[in-house]
Each structure stands twice: as structure tokens, then as C-alpha cells.
Amino acid sequence: MRHIIATVATLLALWAMFYMIGLDKEVNKLDNISKLIESTAMEDKKIKVEKHPNVTTQETTTAQESTTQNSTQQDDEVANKIKALKNKAGNIAAFKTSTLYKKSCASCHGNIGEGIIGPKLIGKDKEYILNALKDFKSGKRKNYVMYGLLGNLDDSQIEELADEIATFKAKLDEATK
């Protein structure tokens, strides 16, 4: 019976890991869209108006001002759209996490420890996280998924995870300034 439960838990963890990889791809698409928008922005926002013999200087100035206003409005619209996309994406990619965290934890606890099917980790201190990880690995706390995942990690990797997770709150605060 234990083997069946462990197998099901492992399959669920693998599914969650692939799901998070898919989310990472979506976040990367958002980053690429933002970069594309920035790179295609008009370098020179002033459009040169050719002088026509029948057009006065005042009319030329008015046309240039109108063009500048339209350009500013378009820039504001683009900025608002980018802001809306970032808000829609939420904090998924607020900061980078290690490959170890992504591979071992993100599928259940979220890309930045916000909690998905596992509890929220962001805001927890290192001691709490380290003790919990050690308890799961030793079997003192019962969770077959955690036991299976931590069984493959050595003490230094568990220490690295605890260090990293303890910094998530500060990283999120810095990223959202």
C-alpha cells in the first residue's frame, strides 16, 4: 500500500513540476513580448514634416505638436498595456529562483513560495524551514511527497534550500518596489 501511495505522490509531483515548467514558459513569453515592445518603440518620436510652399510655419508647428501628442498618447497606451500584462501575470516571475528550488519545490509551493498545493513558504525564516525539511526527510513529519523528494537531497542541498527560501520575502519586496 505504501508503494502505491508513494508512486501516486511521485506522479503528482512530476505532473506539478511539468505544470510549473509550462508556467515558466508563459512567463518567458511575457518577458519576450515586453522586450519586443521596447525594441520596436520609435527611436525618434519627432516626425519630420516637409515644408510645402503653401504651408505656413505656424501650420507646420501645429502639425508637429499634434504628431508629438499622438505619439505620447500611443506611448501611454503601450505602457498601460504592458502594466496590465504584468499585473495579469502576477508575481510569478518577480525574482529568479535556483534550479534546485524549481526542481524540488516549485511544483507544489509555487515559483516564489506563494503556495499552490503545498503551503506558502514565503515569509518563513531559515530555522523554521530547515527544521521542517529535516523532519520531513527523517520521517518525523509524515508526507510521502516531501519524504520522496528530500530523500534524494544531501544535507548541504537542504541547507541551500532553507537559505534561499528564507530570502524570498526580501526578494519579493525588492522586486515590487
Q: How far apart are CA 161 and CA 157, in angstroms?
A: 6
* Residue spans per domain, the chain: 2-40+91-175, 45-90
CATH number for 2-40+91-175: choose from 1.10.760.10, 1.10.40.50, 3.40.50.300, 2.40.10.10: 1.10.760.10
Average pLDDT of span 97-118: 88
- Evaluate whether 164 touches 97 at the Cβ level (below 8 Å): yes
What is the radius of gyration, based on Cα positions, of the chain?
Answer: 25
What 3-state class would DSSP assign to 151? Answer: coil
By the 8 A CB rule, do 90 and 34 touch? no
Q: What is the pLDDT of residues 25-76, one digit of tens each?
A: 777 776 777 676 666 654 444 444 444 555 555 555 555 555 566 667 777 7
Determine contact, residues 62/131, Cβ cutoff 8 Å: no
pTM across the whole model: 0.50
